[in-house]
Each structure stands twice: as structure tokens, then as C-alpha cells.
Amino acid sequence: MTLTPSELRSLLKQDAAFRNARAILTDEWAARAAENPLFQAPMTIADLKFALDLQAAGVADSAVDFTDYVAVQAWIGAHRQSLTPNDIAWLQRNFE
């Protein structure tokens, strides 16, 4: 798996998109949200896709195996407050 040009640019610049994806993979989304308690944005499908692309490219490690149904369900349960119904559907799409 290779990163898209825009993902590679985000990785090199370590911009907000990269920091969001890294926060997902390192299980630090809640800490990142706590940085700005007045606005706690939910995760987006773009954040999740970038995180999975980073993991697949071997750029970032994650304790979660997003290809394993049980692991994904447990991760959804632990992060439900930060996920929209569309995010959950996107994460579960490979298991239907």
C-alpha cells in the first residue's frame, strides 16, 4: 500500500490531518480533543482512512488490527462518543 500524494504531503508536513490520523492509531484522540474542550470534533471518515493508509504503508503502528472484526467492534465501543454513524458504518463495511 502506498500513500496518495496528498497523504504523503500531510505526513511530511505533519499537518492536522496527519495528527488526527496518528491520534487514532496511537489511541490519543481523547487527549487531542481535550486540547480544545470548547470544540470536540468527531472523527471523520477521512481521518479514519488516512489512519488505515498510514498503518498499511507501514508508516505508523497501531495496537488495533482494523482487519479483525472483534478488534474493530471493541475499538468502536471504546470510541463511540467520537464517531458518527457514518464512521461506524465505514469501519464495519468490510465485515458485512
pLDDT tens digit sequence for 23-75: 999 998 888 767 776 667 789 999 999 999 999 999 888 888 999 999 999 99
Amino acid 60: pLDDT: 86
- DSSP at 41: P
Cα–Cα distance for residue pair 15/62, rounded to 1 Å? 19
Cα–Cα distance for residue pair 40/45, rounded to 1 Å? 16
* Structural domain boundaries, residue 14: 5-95
Contact (CB, 8 A) for 92 and 45: no
Cα–Cα distance for residue pair 65/14, rounded to 1 Å? 23
Q: Report the domain count for the chain.
A: 1
| Reported pTM | 0.88
